[in-house]
Structure 1
């Protein structure tokens, strides 16, 4: 007996080869919905996290980047449920909406590295970044947490994923507080912390 469902079963749950915008049920039927594009996206993302983890360890940056390593390990644990058991693929796709927010966070980081905080573009991006963080990080995490709370107290894959999700919730809230302190309450940030741009900002 295989660990993954047959192709007909998969197509009944999702859209087969359809992209996510043509299979909105993946964002509702988080556990059972399946599509080829969503599955490949989860596989590609898991591969990225594996590659980045190996790169951090090989380049001897594990101590400085331990937060990223913790995040990557938790993300890989969650994505593997979709890869090997074809369950919660929709949840994996939903968590990857965070990459939309990462576009503006990366712009922000690059401008801070180049000391361009005085530019109007930085000020505009600061507020856009805040909105994107809420829409594509906080809101999806809250939705997923609400969904997975139904597995509380059960010894299931959903309970395991709930544990990972709660830890990610804590990390995202910590990063959000750092973002607010850095961009909207700069006087409260000690000057020596400004060097730690990747982790504290």
Structure 2
């Protein structure tokens, strides 16, 4: 799947760009990268939803439940994280996007362990529901970058984004954290995945606070005035 996202990257290069992006060279890479991220979010988010809808019995066995669809989904998303990591590094964006590199390292290492052992695949599918939320989060960032003269569109997406953040990011994450702390033995693969999950909890709460400050409490934003964030992938503007 790394090659698939490489092809999507080349396709994104050929697509027309908004004037606000073309006029700021620092935004070109970020725009293209976000388009590839958007494609992954749509594909992986819908795939995760369909996998759970088609096989709801998997939710009763998070540790050892198995489906071919779920296994392939984890492989597919692993390819995206590998591709995005290489894209960041080879385009000299490591400094501005270091948080993504940390996140991707966690995701790749966890997913590889699941692919090899075939265990906790259901947990990975639940976590990948986050990609449904990422669809609207990415749309938010694309709208801001393109300076689309449609406040109503941004406002509508802002509230949809908040609802999706709760439903597909915070809720699955909270449930899995509770499940792992209560039922998974803290040794071997279980300990490794629990540590990854707790680190991801901290990152998600940090992103949520950024989202609230940026879209709902702008007066609480600190240190962003005059800051050039054209090359940054993360939610800071």
1:62 Cα shift? 1.1
Cα deviation, residue 26, structure 1 = 2.2
5 Å matches for 1:36-115?
Answer: 36-115=68-147
2:214 to 171, 182, 187: 182
Quick one: distance in 2 between partners of 1:113 and 1:144? Answer: 34
What is the SS of the residue equivalent to 2:197?
helix
The answer on 1:134 being equivalent to 2:169 is no
Could you list the runs of 5+ residues in structure 1 that have no partner in the other structure? Answer: 1-17
Q: Deviations 1:69-113 (Å, cap 9, x if unpaired)? A: 000010111111221000000011111001100111111111111
- Give the distance between the partners of 1:131 and 1:99, measured in 2 at CA: 14
Cα distance in 1 for residues equivalent to 2:74 and 2:171: 20
Distance 1:117 1:159, change over 3 A: farther
In structure 2, the partner of 1:32 is 64
Q: Which runs of 4+ in 1 moved over 4 A?
A: none
Q: Quick one: distance in 1 between partners of 2:58 and 2:108?
A: 20
Query: C-alpha separation between the residues in 1 aligned to 2:162 and 2:139?
Result: 13
Label 1:153 to 1:28 Cα distance change in 2 as closer, same or farther (>3 A): closer
Shift of 1:151: 5.8
Which residue number corresponds to residue 191 of structure 1? Answer: 225
Structure 1 length normalisation: TM-score? 0.84
Is 1:171 paired with 2:206? Answer: no
Q: TM-score, normalised by structure 2?
A: 0.72
Answer yes or no: is the 8 Å Cα contact 2:96–2:233 preserved in 1: no
Distance in 2 (alpha carbons) for counterparts of 1:140 and 1:33: 17
| Matching of residues 2-21 of structure 1 within 5 Å | 19-21=51-53
Deviation string 1:117-168 (CA, Å, 9 cap, x unpaired) is 7511111111110000000000000001001103677322111100000000
In angstroms, what is the RMSD of aligned CA positions? 2.0
Contact kept, 8 Å, 2:123 with 2:176, in 1: the verdict is: yes
Q: Which has the higher contact order (CA 8 A, sep 6+)?
A: 2
Unaligned stretches of 5+ in structure 2?
Answer: 1-49
